[in-house]
Structure 1
Amino acid sequence: MSVGLETANILVLGKGDNLHQQVLASFPLCDVTEEDLTQNPLFSKLLASLTQHVDKTGLTVPLKTELDKAEQRLQSQKRQWLRSESLHRGLQEMIQEHCVRKHNTEVPPDQNMFYETMERCLRVTQCVRHLDPSSTTSQDQPLILGLTPQQVTQLMPSEKNVQRMRQALPRQLEKHLKDKCLSLLSYYQPEWENESEALKTNKLSHLSTLLDKEKKRTELLKEICRENTVLLQRQTQLYFSELIKCIQLLQTLILDHKLKIQTDLDRKKLVYFEGKCELVLQKIKTEMVEVQLDTYSPDTVSAHRKIREKLECELKACKAEKQAVELKLSSFEILGKAFEALAEEYSRLRQEIDMKNWALKELTQYDEK
């Protein structure tokens, strides 16, 4: 049953790329790309089902409702505090302006009494507030300088002066606030500063609406800026991902091209070095011929060539004779050690015969003389 509901929710959101776009729009703070959703369809379905239960910030619907209520209560408390704080600061500003004005010009006695009474009431009220125990704790706070709120309250001005101050306060406060609003209007629109009082008062009635529009416009621009920031981050991630793919492809192309070019280059280098080696050999032969021509005459070279040919013929004959002797010797070695004694005896007899022939030859030559 739950699977059917999740499937229905997914179908409501969309299919394929449309589903991915809506999931990304529902979770702008989630660092997920469309490629991640495509590679992980189950995770994409999970996010699609979560869009029915959570908002863009990741809060559940009940928690978001409670958070909105708490935010409304907080805003109400803030407005109350700001109202009282603005009133208090406005009264303090009035007192400060009166002190400055009193030092520069002559102030009427009734106006001076009004501001002194108001300042005294503010100070006493502030002291009483500090002396009161906190309403957020059940423990009693220690007294400051041993004073109680009742003792400080006795320092209030006379009731008559307080009544006069209260009667004149709304008019003076209204005048002060109006001057501040006109100053704000002049700051917001400097070209309206030279307008008449009635026209500025009329425009002042529309100042809150203008400021509210500016505030909404600013919030809209902030939201657009945040959306553009998220979009820029996603596009940056996509750009880097595509850039990495392009770099890898470029590296592959460079490697393949380099290997192909390297093979052709090696083959050309081999042909070049072979030709160069052949040229060096020819040059060496040429140098040898030139050395021979410088050293020997043509007749000497011809004679040396004939001598060389004759020596090579004799060397070839000697090698053939040596080979024949080695064959005979190998055939004699087959007979074993018994033939070795006969060979030695034969050799000794040959030497004796040669010696006797030589002696006979010498003797014959001596007789002829």
Structure 2
Amino acid sequence: MSESTHVSSLGMGDGLHHQVLASFPLCDITEEDLTQNPQFCKLLATLAQHVDQTGLTVPLKTELEKAEQKLRSQRRHWLRSESLHKGLQEMIQDHCIRKHHVTVPPDQNLFYETLEKCLLVAQCIRLLDPSSTTNQDQPSVLGLSPQHMMDLMPSEKDVQRMKQGLPEELEKHLRKSCFSLLSYYQPEWENESERLKTSKLSHLAAQLDKEKKRAESLKETCRENTVLLQRQTQLYLSELIKCIQLLQSLILDHRLRIQTDLDGKKLEYLEGKCELVLQKIKTEMVEIQLDMYTVDSIAAHRKIRERLESDLKACQVEKHSVELKLASFEILGKEFEALAEEYCRLRQKIEMNNWALKEFTRCSDK
């Protein structure tokens, strides 16, 4: 049984491939990979029952959710304290700016000075107080202790007065900050009445949470579309490569099939061109001959040729007779060869003496 038949025997077929791809969206695998590796596809399908889309097991996912819930709780507690601290600091800064522009009542100045001193002392005490992870025996900063900082606190009376007026002032500041946030979120609400702003402000958290969930949903959809686009891109590129390979094979087959006809046509063309060139060369040669040789020169050349041919025949006859004589002389052997050489030497000597005698006679006549 083949592997594809084995996958079909599971009763899932293509549905198994889609289930695996949906269970592991972060994996860079395609349906073709699962088809070619059915055992691996079966392993992923079994594994999907024990892990989520991020690859975490069910127990680990539960522990992670508990840890995240605890972290969110601690984060809310920290944000509550940090927001309160930042709000108090903003109140002090606003007061410092306001007192440079308008006259502030003395009791309000005392309120903010007491608040600022209390914040500074609390901050110094937090810095001087070692945490649970710090060695308790380490020396303190500049020999200071939290008790030294407590001595710098304002009077108890001023502190109590500040604490009594703090909730109201803090509420005013937070209300102002919330109205600023509301105006930033919806600028057209800035000119609304305070009562209407307060009503809309009570629904602002729900609206922001709704938009946050919508943004997260859009982000998740965008991520899914990105994964889908990547898979479609891979599939498109794979199909495109197959089409290119098929096109290359078709082009190669077509080229090989018509190459013989192209070569035959090219050979015929070259043969015809060569024949044309040869005919042109012959034509040029005939034109040159017609320009060089007139009727009289051709007749003279014909007579010269006849005379040369007759002289050639006479020379050939003479050559033949000389060859016969030489052949008869060769019969006499080496002794005749020595006589022939001596004869040639004497003939040369006689010729030299005759030439010398002629020269001497010519000089004597002068």
Fold agreement, TM-score > 0.5: yes
1:227 aligns with 2:214: no
Deviation at 1:44, TM superposition (A): 0.8
Give the one of 264, 268, 273 matched to 1:271. Answer: 268
**Deviating more after overlay: 61-70 vs 251-260:** 251-260
Gaps of at least 5 residues in structure 2 are 1-6, 310-326, 332-366
Kindly, what percent of the aligned residue pairs are identical? Answer: 74
| Deviation per residue, 1:310-349 (Å, 9 max, x gap) | x9xxxxxxxxxxxxxxxxxxxxxxxxxxxxxxxx99x97x
1:300-339 matched pairs, under 5 angstroms: none
- Asked if the contact 1:133/1:140 (under 8 Å) is kept, the reply is no
- State the secondary structure of the residue aligned to 1:56: coil
**Residues 275 and 196 of structure 1, relative CA distance in 2, 3 Å threshold:** same
| Deviation per residue, 1:55-86 (Å, 9 max, x gap) | 11111111111111111111111111000000
| Deviation per residue, 1:240-296 (Å, 9 max, x gap) | 212222222222222222233332221101111222233334444555555666647
Deviation at 1:220, TM superposition (A): 0.7
**Deviating more after overlay: 256-265 vs 225-234:** 256-265
CA distance in 1, matches of 2:118, 2:192: 38
Counterpart for residue 39 of structure 2: 42
CA distance in 2, matches of 1:136, 1:156: 28
TM-score of the aligned structures, taking structure 1 as reference length: 0.75
Give the one of 76, 81, 84 matched to 1:79. Answer: 76
Deviation at 1:98, TM superposition (A): 0.8
Residue type of the partner of 1:88? H
Counterpart for residue 99 of structure 2: 102
CA distance in 2, matches of 1:292, 1:150: 135
CA RMSD, aligned part only?
Answer: 2.8
Counterpart for residue 23 of structure 2: 26
Give the one of 51, 55, 71 matched to 1:54. Answer: 51
- Asked if the contact 1:98/1:115 (under 8 Å) is kept, the reply is yes
1:64 aligns with 2:74: no
**Residues 112 and 291 of structure 1, relative CA distance in 2, 3 Å threshold:** closer
Residue type of the partner of 1:142? P
CA distance in 1, matches of 2:294, 2:208: 118
1:137-152 matched pairs, under 5 angstroms: 137-152=134-149
CA distance in 1, matches of 2:25, 2:135: 47
1:200 aligns with 2:191: no
1:160 aligns with 2:184: no
**Residues 264 and 98 of structure 1, relative CA distance in 2, 3 Å threshold:** same
- Asked if the contact 1:20/1:37 (under 8 Å) is kept, the reply is yes
Counterpart for residue 111 of structure 1: 108
**Residues 297 and 89 of structure 1, relative CA distance in 2, 3 Å threshold:** same
- State the secondary structure of the residue aligned to 1:107: coil
Counterpart for residue 131 of structure 1: 128
Residue type of the partner of 2:70? R
Gaps of at least 5 residues in structure 1 are 1-6, 312-343, 349-369
| Deviation per residue, 1:9-56 (Å, 9 max, x gap) | x96xx7222211221111111011111111111111111111001111
How many residues in Structure 1 have an aligned counterpart in Structure 2?
301
Deviation at 1:168, TM superposition (A): 0.9
